[in-house]
Copies of this chain bind each other. A is one copy, B any other.
């Protein structure tokens, strides 16, 4: 039985972020992360498969939010409304308490091409998840793909704005703004 260790995972995560930011992701070992908060490497590996997982371990929940959000749209919702609902569900995961963490995480990822490639991959995973959820709601092609790709793009743009140093709007506000801009782009000129 693994002992119940309140907050251990989040202590390890905070320590990892600090060391990655200070010394670089490649230069930091799991043992160093653990030692910096008085824990053993073995404890680190009870919580994370590897040090990369510190930065990417919420992926399944993140994708589930897209699926849940599409499912939560009202019965006669348009594809656009399903995407809005999905992005609103995802936005709930990006509250103010998370913004400082997301800013540091972004710096670490931008400094490492392999991590940046992995992060970029999240865009296509989000689009594929959205497309599957839209198909399940009866949205046909090519609307499902157009909507899913637009949703993934909108989230990417919103996230980039949200982590900017001088940005004060909430994620939900930014997403509303980006969706309005998507609409005005596509409206006949």
Contacts and interface: CB of A to CB of B under 8 A. Distances in A.
Interface centre among A141, A145, A178 (most CB of B within 10 A): A145
A150 interface: yes
A143 interface: yes
Contacts of A142: 157, 161, 178, 181
Task: Sort chain A's interface into a size bin.
Answer: 20 to 34
Number of copies: 2
A185 B153 contact: no
Interface of A: 77-81, 120, 124, 141-143, 145-147, 149-150, 153-154, 157, 161, 178, 181-189
Given A149-B149, A150-B153, 4 more contacts: A80-B189, A143-B181, A145-B153, A149-B150
